[in-house]
Amino acid sequence: MSRKQAAKARPAARKGRRPRHSPAAPAPGPAPGNGGGLARQLRALGLKLREVPGDGNCLFRALGDQLEGHSRNHLRHRQETVEFMVRQRGDFEPFVEDDVPFDKHVANLAKPGTFAGNDAIVAFARNNQMNVVIHQLNAPLWQIRGTDRSDARELHIAYRYGEHYDSVRRISDDSEAPACLRMEMLCKNNSNKAEEVKPQKGSSEDETEVEVEDAVQKVCNATGCSDMDLVSHILEEEDYNVESAIFAILQMKEVEGIGTEEQEEPLGREQKSCSKTLWEENGTGSRIFGNQSLHQGEAENTKGRAGSKEENRASRNSKVAKKQKKKQQWLEKKKQQEERHRQKVLASKKDSADSRTDTEPANHVTLVKAMAALNI
């Protein structure tokens, strides 16, 4: 083929045939090359056009930009779409123009630069299990449903001048990342839906209150503590960990028990009186053993009392030291638990922040508000 013949063939291949089931042509607007009308319409929704070359591959370029962040794989998307149509021939053959056999139609569609229409969009959507939303000037949105899944991804493209597709992006999105747009239908029933959610919120609060009461009862049964306010406070301090709360209360009871142990009492009042009477000047001890024995007895008694006091003091000091040691151990244990809990919370927050940082660019979804949409 000569250069002259090749030059004539190229425009024909680029233009191709437009299927009769393409989206409705836009209302009269700016001349080609100036997408002012549709651009203003998208800008009101916080969106913009990302234009792709008008080389006959514009549909697959626009879909590729939505799916991958660029349009360089348009030939692969075209080939996969055609292969899906061939496999599902029964679904697509009835919609091909009567004067064009299906085999010839898909053979032409497989060639680079051949215009593709609605049948290719439907095949692409079903093959990739996604929904494709088409924006047009002064017209409702068209939604080509490739799946019935509620969480299906949406690809948003614009159809202009009755022959060209562009990608639709968030107005501030100049990246080469996949687009994440989702249609949000506006309706008058939104307020009713909000009211229906309120009782569910109340029921969840009731369930939480029952769970707290159950935890308090478990701690009371395990520790024998009847002070509900104290148990509730300890549970709150221990982040509602029942085992930690039980341990804390048992530690507190052990410390308090040491301080309330019975201590040896000094000589009783009757014993003091009896001892004094026995060794008075005319007492029985004085008459039998004399004053010398009295003084000796008093000295021994004083010595015994002094020794008893020393023993009691040492015993008390030992118990106080033991009590302080137990209290210190409990405080250190509680401090360690609080530190572990703090570290766990910090780690959880850090993981959550890292997860948001890693996934935000890919999963940040911009809602596209729409009053009406036509489903295909």
Task: Return the half-sphere exposure (C-beta side, CA atoms, 13 A cut-off) of residue 309.
Answer: 6
Q: Give the separation between CA 101 and CA 99, rounded to whole angstroms.
A: 7
3-state secondary structure 106-172: HHHHCCCCCCCCHHHHHHHHHHHCCEEEEECCCCCEEEEECCCCCCCCEEEEEEECCCEEEEEEECC
Site of tokens 């301080």: 259
Distances in Å between the Cα of 126 and the Cα atoms of 73, 79, 119, 256 are 18, 14, 11, 72
Q: Give the separation between CA 278 and CA 285, rounded to whole angstroms.
A: 5
Q: Is 233 a catalytic residue?
A: no
Q: Give the separation between CA 134 and CA 38, rounded to whole angstroms.
A: 12
Cα 93 to the center of its chain, rounded Å: 46
Asked whether the CA dihedral 65, 47, 29, 158 is positive or negative, the reply is positive
- 74, 164, 166, 173: which one is catalytic? 164
- 55, 103, 227, 351: which one is catalytic? 55
- Alpha helix (H) ranges present in 177-227? 190-223
Tokens of 227: 């002070």
- Classify strands 141-145 and 373-375 as parallel, antiparallel or unpaired: parallel
Residues β-bridged to residue 144: 132
Q: Is 55 a catalytic residue?
A: yes
Give the phi and the psi of residue 120 in degrees, each rounded to 5. Answer: -70, -35
Q: Is 58 a catalytic residue?
A: yes
**CB neighbours (10 Å) of residue 192?**
9
Supply the residues annotated as catalytic: 55, 58, 164
